[in-house]
Structure 1
Amino acid sequence: MITLRKADERGKAHFGWLKSRHSFSFGSYYDPAHMGFSALRVINDDWVAPGAGFDSHGHRDMEIITLVLAGAIVHKDSAGNEKVLPAGEFQLMSAGSGVYHSEYNASQTDELRFLQIWIMPDKQGGKPGYQQQHFASQPGLTLIASPDGRDGSLVLKQQVQLLRVTLAADEQLNYPLPGRKVYLHLISGELQLDSITMQPGDGLMVSAETALQLTANQHSEALLFDLP
């Protein structure tokens, strides 16, 4: 079963300093048909005005991944981490038993854009954790996060793999799905799956399939979530 979630069908929020698109129900946006997919609970596509950001707020029992697409984030949390997250780097904050953090646009002149992703952990509680890493750009698949941290990936508290997909024009990807599900979020470019054409911001939910076969109509970058 393959379902396309179009970018312009996502939930919308606009607070002046923040513009957001929600792939799943979040905040004031509620859609019982889109409450998450397997362990994937949130994909928010956020634009933050210069100098603005999220004041200190709390999380618990959630794996929170951030990818900056343009600009940089200033991050501070109650565990004592004070970091700057530039474009292209991945951050993984394991909320565990509870953590408070704030996120601000590091620039006073330029807009910040980032993806915030929530994955439900397979165990609750535990000590909060923080990881941040740059992954070299390479064609094909790059493992970003996994439950065992193999190949230098970030360590997730869930049986989920997050992979970055980078395909040149006309390049193909055949990803096997032995009893697993996949959610694919297209960041840039254009991907083709049979009669389905994916545009930036689109999501693809895949279940009960033996493989995911994609062709890039142009240079494309996406995030692939391999889910239980």
Structure 2
Amino acid sequence: MTTIGATPTIDVRRAADRFRSEFGWLDSKHSFSFGHHQDPANTHHGLLLVNNDDIVDPGTGFETHPHRDMEIVTWVLEGSLVHQDSTGNNGVIYPGLAQRMSAGRGIMHSEKNDSWRLGGDVHRDPVHFVQMWVVPDEAGITPGYEQLEIDAELLSGGLVTVASGMPEHADHAAIRIRNSYAALHAARLAPGQSVTLPDAPFLHLFVPRGAVTLEGSGPLATGDAVRFTATGGQRVTATEPAEILVWEMHATVQL
């Protein structure tokens, strides 16, 4: 992990240009190389290695599988996702709930969209979520899990810190990640509402739903992303109801 100087750049990545994996039960779009989709020129940005935009059919999901030495943040947009892991943690992740799993020296977990019954009716809705991976400060840490409801904070319309390991967020980050150079922020914006992006060596802006305009770069639609290097401070304004996810990163990895 390094902190380096760089030339200011703003790199817009359109939704249609993402890698895509379709398995019947899963529609997954990858911002970076993932699984059998590999591009040596597109492995990460800053500390962010994975930004997967997933839709999982009801009654299906990811069976138990391993992870190691990764901080994994899951953000649900619609529906609910059931998490279980080998350390005994389990929970239901839904919109407005921040969730982090530290894989550390090794963890097994599953993530499923379970159908449920209410009053005799079967509710069968897909779950739509974004899963993001950043590297931890050090390898081999003790695995961990944390989740916290932040729906009320999102009503402000401003950028809300979802997860952070940065010292300056110690008193107000929703959940902690084991990387002292990274923070994830989110905002739900009504048409006309704006937020200002932080200044950082590396930023990653993702629009999981809705539409916005980025100052100096123009319109961004659902699924579009922007990779900022050595710049920040631009305004993001919603042109329709929108949600944005912003990674603020003060270091990068050399893969």
**Does residue 1:93 correspond to 2:108, yes or no?**
no
What is the count of residue pairs matched by the alignment? 227
Which ranges in structure 1 are unaligned for 5 or more consecutive residues? none
Q: Which residue of 2 aligns with 1:182?
A: 203
Query: What SS class does the counterpart of residue 172 from structure 2 fall into?
Result: helix
1:156 CA displacement: 1.0
| TM-score, normalised relative to structure 1 | 0.94
Quick one: structure 1 residues 225 and 195, their matched pair in 2 at CA, closer, same or farther if it must change by over 3 Å? closer
Superposed CA offset, 1:174-216 (max 9, x none): 3341x52110001222221224211011111111225223222
Q: Give the Cα–Cα distance (whole angstroms) in 2 for the partners of residues 143 and 127 of structure 1.
A: 24
Cα distance in structure 2, aligned partners of 1:20 and 1:73: 15
Contact 1:145 1:155 in 2 (8 A): yes
Distance 1:195 1:117 in 2: 24
* Equivalent position to 1:26, from 26, 29, 34: 34
| Maintained 8 Å contact 1:72/1:107 | no
C-alpha distance in 2, partners of 1:210/1:73?
A: 33
When normalised by structure 2's length, the TM-score is: 0.84
Structure 1 residue aligned with 2:225? 203
Please tell me the root mean square deviation across aligned C-alpha atoms, in Å: 1.5
Distance of aligned partners of 1:207 and 1:81 in 2 relative to their CA distance in 1, 3 Å threshold? same
Matches within 5 A, 1:1-228: 1-107=9-115, 109-135=124-150, 136=152, 137=154, 138-147=156-165, 148=167, 149-158=170-179, 159-177=181-199, 179-193=200-214, 194-228=216-250
Runs of 4+ in 1 over 6 A off after TM superposition: none
Which 5+ residue runs of structure 2 have no aligned equivalent? 1-8, 117-123, 251-255
Counterpart CA distance in 1 for 2:54 and 2:103 is 20
CA drift at 1:32: 2.2
Identity %: 39
Q: Report the 3-state secondary structure (helix = DSSP H, G, I; strand = E; otherwise coil) of the residue aligned with 1:8.
A: helix
